[in-house]
A = this chain, B = another copy of it.
């Protein structure tokens, strides 16, 4: 049975730390695989305060190589080693990752107790991670930068009544679902014969740093959660756009047009004290807007929606 997707915001600020706001990092557990998105300075300490064990992280996805999004990596990597990690770790990022990550991990004296593999991801590509996929979108930022969509694969749902009618024993149903056909009573039964539809896989989109982009509307379409750059409110829009970021108004327009369920505002300028203006502004465009907060936990339950198979 699929379980809740669990997400913890580890750091929600941008540029440099502000009171109550660490630098960008998100932990997302899907199908018991713990993934980290971005790793600002202080992420290891924030992980230790969270309900996730930092030792269990399997994949790390970096959106881009501005320091606030990745300078927590060497400390985290070395602490895993201090604690005797043996499991391999995968690190993913945009153009430049194959150069920057090895240099980041070569600083100072330490010995690594496990294997790290670094992967460069292309923009507008889909990568298979078993029960989920990672899709990328090239951001409109000042340097190479990726948005990530973490998407659970759709799950085929068998119509129990039809299966019963044919007489397929329940122990053969999983094989039928996963392989598409099963041999039964001397004949091949195809999945299509008993298919009820499919359960839509859950989808979370994390933009990292980006200006508002038309292509994000399609990329984030129908996401359960969109976590979008909202560096300031719209009063500073020209400036914030110049630096490659979005305002809360712009993020909310994308959330509305993409028909997502919830928008989490994220990556707040350290110059901001109160964030209520950002929230008010976003809500006036897209009511399901929420301010992300350090160590906030969010669960995405299994969808009950069954949709037709294409």
Residues of A in contact with B (beta carbons under 8 Å apart): 15-17, 19, 22-23, 41-42, 44-45, 48, 65-68, 70-72, 74-75, 78-79, 82-83, 100, 103-104, 106-110, 142-143
Cβ–Cβ contact B71 & A67, under 8 A: no
Interchain nearest-CB distance for A242 vs B (Å): 15
A-B contact pairs, 26 of them (CB 8 A): A15-B82, A16-B44, A16-B79, A16-B82, A16-B83, A23-B75, A41-B72, A41-B75, A42-B42, A42-B45, A65-B107, A65-B108, A65-B109, A66-B108, A66-B110, A67-B78, A67-B110, A68-B75, A70-B107, A71-B71, A71-B107, A103-B103, A103-B107, A104-B107, A109-B142, A109-B143
Report Cα–Cα, A75/B70, bound state, in Å.
Answer: 10
Q: Which residues of B contact A42 (CB under 8 A)?
A: 41-42, 45
Given contacts A41-B41, A42-B45, A67-B75, 14 further A-B contacts (CB under 8 A): A16-B75, A17-B45, A17-B48, A22-B45, A41-B45, A66-B108, A66-B109, A66-B110, A71-B78, A103-B103, A103-B106, A103-B107, A104-B107, A109-B142
* The residue from B19, B23, B75 contacting A71, defined by CB atoms under 8 A apart: B75
Report Cα–Cα, A74/B143, bound state, in Å.
Answer: 19
Q: Which residues of B contact A100 (CB under 8 A)?
A: 107-108
Interchain nearest-CB distance for A161 vs B (Å): 55
A22, A67, A79: most-surrounded residue (chain B CB, <10 A): A67
Known: A15-B82, A16-B75. Is A108-B44 also a contact (CB below 8 A)?
no
Number of copies: 2
Q: Which residues of B contact A109 (CB under 8 A)?
A: 65-66, 142-143
Interchain nearest-CB distance for A97 vs B (Å): 11
Report Cα–Cα, A275/B265, bound state, in Å.
Answer: 40
Chain B minimum-CB-distance residue to A106? B103
Report Cα–Cα, A67/B44, bound state, in Å.
Answer: 13
Report Cα–Cα, A66/B45, bound state, in Å.
Answer: 18
Known: A16-B44, A41-B41, A42-B41. Is A108-B78 also a contact (CB below 8 A)?
no
Report Cα–Cα, A32/B110, bound state, in Å.
Answer: 36
Report Cα–Cα, A107/B103, bound state, in Å.
Answer: 7
Cβ–Cβ contact A74 & B71, under 8 A: yes
Report Cα–Cα, A272/B48, bound state, in Å.
Answer: 15
Report Cα–Cα, A41/B52, bound state, in Å.
Answer: 20
Report Cα–Cα, A74/B69, bound state, in Å.
Answer: 12
Report Cα–Cα, A184/B22, bound state, in Å.
Answer: 63
Report Cα–Cα, A23/B65, bound state, in Å.
Answer: 24
